[in-house]
Structure 1
Amino acid sequence: MVQYISHRLDASFAALSDPTRRGVLEQLGRADASISDLADRFHMTLTGMKKHVSLLEAAGLVTTEKVGRVRICRLGRGMLETEAAWIDQQRRIWTERFDALDAIVQELKQGNPT
């Protein structure tokens, strides 16, 4: 289970590391779009956009469906829930660490080292 989550996080964060792919997700958040429409919107070749969409699809962030001769892209289900949970867990850990550090700094300022 841990390996699956780790692989999923690796794929998601790798997909999110590119500004074009983040832009595609933002666009699909507003409306479904064909790969051709996305390529036009981002001023890139159809082949280039297919590569971006393939990475997003492999990460589970986007789904595609062939309708006639057109491939329609949609946001994936449960998008970023696992990733958000991981980020929240890391945020809690670091908040606790910084709170403990703040307490030590306050003690040192008051001249009461532990």
Structure 2
Amino acid sequence: MLSEKEKKTLAGRQGALEGAFNGLDLFMDVGGASTLFKVGTHEWLVLKNAIGIRNRITHPSNSSDLNISNSDLLHLRSTEVVILELFASSLEGAGQALLRSASSIQEQQASNDKPNRVPGSN
């Protein structure tokens, strides 16, 4: 079991849920797309509950915290689906943003490559 000092140290750290949110947010921002993972959404709550299960069995307060119920297992399986969907949607959104950026660059280069015409010349 954790001592009070260890609990205080852990409480001061960024939580796993916030870390996941910040990681996806940074990935999407770098790709030029909006974050799909929003605080308070269904996905946020699913991950929050899964992290709660993880924390309960990783840092038990008593022996019953180590029990993993069928409900816990079902929830963790649904969490897997949510995580995979978030990553797939994030990759798709970032990919689309990068394609838009590439298209814009190509259009800009094409307009720069047009020969300058002198007025009155043929």
The verdict on a shared fold, with TM-score over 0.5 as the criterion, is no
TM class by shorter-chain length? 0.3 to 0.5
Kindly indicate whether structure 1 or structure 2 has the higher relative contact order, using CA contacts under 8 Å at least 6 residues apart: 2
| Structure in which a larger fraction of residues adopt helix | 2
| Rg larger for | 2
TM-score by length of 1: 0.40
